[in-house]
Amino acid sequence: MFTAKTFSFVNLIKNDSVLKLYNNELKQTKDPAKKADIHFKLGNYYSKINKENLAFSNYTKALTIFEKLNLKEKEMDCNLSIFSLLDSQNNIKIEALPYLDKYYKAALYSQKEEKMFIALLNYGNYNFNKTNYRKAQSYYSEALSLSKKTNDSLGIAKINTNLGLLYSGFIKDQDSAKIFFENALKIYPKNNMYERFITYINYANAFEKEHNYKKSIEYLKKAERITPEKHKLNLQKILFSKFSNAFQNLGDFENAFNYYNKYNTARDSINITNQNIEISKIKEQYDNEKLRADNLEIEAQRKQNRNFLIGALFIIFAGSIFIFQQYKNSKRKQQLIKQEKELETQKLTAALKEQELLSIDAMIEGQEKERQRIANDLHDDLGGLMTTIKWHFNTLEERKSPEILEKTNLLLDEAYQKIRSIAHAKNSGVIAKQGLLKAVQNMADTISINNKLQISVIDHGLENQLENSLELTIFRIIQELITNIIKHAQATEVNIHITNHDDSLNIMVEDNGIGFNPSQITKTKKGMGISSIDKRIEHLHGKMTIESEPNKGATVIIDIPI
């Protein structure tokens, strides 16, 4: 068995061999790209053994070469590594963000979702503090959606770990935090030592906040059995500190003292303060060198072009000024004319839109007034007349056959009840009596009777009715969509989902019909049905999305603010 001293000596020999190998390769190669790769590997090597100042030096050397060679992928890797290194140093943490910004811009440009995920995850980590934790939560949520979209199980696990720590530390919901940690541990592979180590410590921290120190020690011991592959001394320092605190709270002062000694040893080994000073010096040198190189390049280019420009400008100076002024005046006039035309077009468009909205309002109001008038006429005029006729027939009961009079009376009763039903139905419209959900369900039941088209209505959160005119407009929209399906889709099944999100209403109508190509439906080329629906939705400040493929049915999704 190795003693502690023997183990350290073996590691020292191993580390020295690695350094000699890299340094020999640097001396022998003349290829700039290969030199940059070696510097990047050295940066990773020094980072793992907690020599952050040397890691930073090699990373910046690699980044300088990669930028000159325009090797974007490797440049991104360097920026991310430098960000991670600086972000781990408390005193210079603020200097890390520009490197992450460069990485994120390059990720967006390349449209590589795995790199976009890494950027969002690191933005969340950077904002993980008492002041910005809500911003961190937003970044984590965006990263989680992206990792689910790409089936990135490791990414999902990392986000669960970070959300667990956020819920434990800032939201103070330890039960939710433990669920996140448990989800992460189920996903992480056994050989992912670093992430499992971090998650165990965070899990133990959640129990510590509940003063359940025995359970906290149980998860700390699970972390102690793991050897993380990077930032070993930093992580061990945290682990030993947690152990010491937990044993102290349990009254086990012997173990508390032992782990406190281990904590001091790890802390002294790291010597973070000196590393921060060294990193700051190297970064300043790097920035100065880069600025100096840029200035030299600009100066050389300027000298190269100066003689040619002086001669050319001397000959054409006077004519150029005149032509430039004329051109500038012409462009200004053209721009003014273009702006005036655009302004007129905008005014005309706004006026037409306003007129269109007023027409829709008038149409809906007129429909309701017409239904109200018909309802009143049926109920007041025809209903009253039928009542009078019934009364007259009753007076003839002694003069005519009782059997005929009874049948006549029954028929009149039936007619009268039908008139009342029609009146109430017309008078209430969709809203007053039954509400939107009931009206849609009745429509679905009526259409589904013939068994050619089965319509299902699924609602979420529609216990209370909405404003009357809003429910009426929404009913007309759904009615128009179903009409289009009956006319064109050749569908046998339709599902209508209506969901109330408090501040918005979501309507989704999906069918299993023949489908179509949504790109053929444009603002200038719409069927009467779609055009009418679009105008109603625009009037409600809503949004409609149509998803369909030939032979795969169609789905219409509508979001309307309440």
d(C-alpha 61, C-alpha 306), whole Å: 33
**Cβ count within 10 A of residue 500:** 17
Tokens of 228: 């993380």
Residue 44 three-state SS:
helix
Contact yes or no for 207/213 (Cβ under 8 A): yes
Contact yes or no for 193/223 (Cβ under 8 A): no
H or E stretch covering 496: strand 493-500
Give the model confidence (pLDDT) of 136-162 as tens digits. 999 999 999 999 988 999 899 989 999
Amino acid 292 reads R
**Cβ count within 10 A of residue 236:** 22
CATH fold of the domain at 112-211:
1.25.40
Give the model confidence (pLDDT) of 176-193 as tens digits. 999 999 999 999 998 889
DSSP 448-493: HTTSSSEEEEEEES-SS---HHHHHHHHHHHHHHHHHIIIII--SE
H or E stretch covering 426: helix 402-428
Q: How far is CA 76 from CA 39, 66, 103, 252, in A?
A: 15, 9, 5, 49
Helices 528-539 and 272-376: angle between axes, nearest 10 degrees: 110
CATH fold of the domain at 435-561:
Heat Shock Protein 90 (3.30.565)
Range(s) of the chain covered by CATH 1.25.40.10: 112-211
Per the model's pLDDT, the better-predicted residue between 230 and 188 turns out to be 188
Segment among 9-18, 107-116, 215-224 with least mean pLDDT:
9-18
* Stretch 92-100: mean pLDDT: 86
d(C-alpha 466, C-alpha 462), whole Å: 9
Amino acid 268 reads D
Amino acid 69 reads L
* Stretch 67-84: mean pLDDT: 93
Give the model confidence (pLDDT) of 266-282 as tens digits. 887 765 545 555 665 66
* Stretch 103-120: mean pLDDT: 91
Check whether 522 has a pLDDT greater than 60: no
DSSP strands (E only) in 291-405: none
Nearest CA among 560, 457, 460 for reference residue 509: 457
* Stretch 455-462: mean pLDDT: 90
Rg (CA), the chain: 38
Nearest CA among 35, 36, 25 for reference residue 63: 36
Check whether 425 has a pLDDT greater than 60: no
Which range, 224-233, 422-431, 508-517, is most confident?
508-517
Residue appearing with tokens 């967006």: 108
Check whether 10 has a pLDDT greater than 50: no
Q: How far is CA 28 from CA 39, 65, 316, in A?
A: 14, 17, 54
d(C-alpha 555, C-alpha 512), whole Å: 9
H or E stretch covering 509: strand 504-511
Distance, C-alpha 100 to centroid of its chain: 19
Nearest CA among 148, 149, 102, 146 for reference residue 121: 146
Check whether 355 has a pLDDT greater than 80: no
Q: What confidence score (pLDDT) does residue 339 get?
A: 85
What burial letters (b/e) apply to 481-492, b meaning 16+ CB within 10 Å? bbebbbeebebe
Q: What confidence score (pLDDT) does residue 1 get?
A: 32
Q: What confidence score (pLDDT) does residue 424 get?
A: 56
Range(s) of the chain covered by CATH 3.30.565.10: 435-561
Q: What confidence score (pLDDT) does residue 5 get?
A: 36
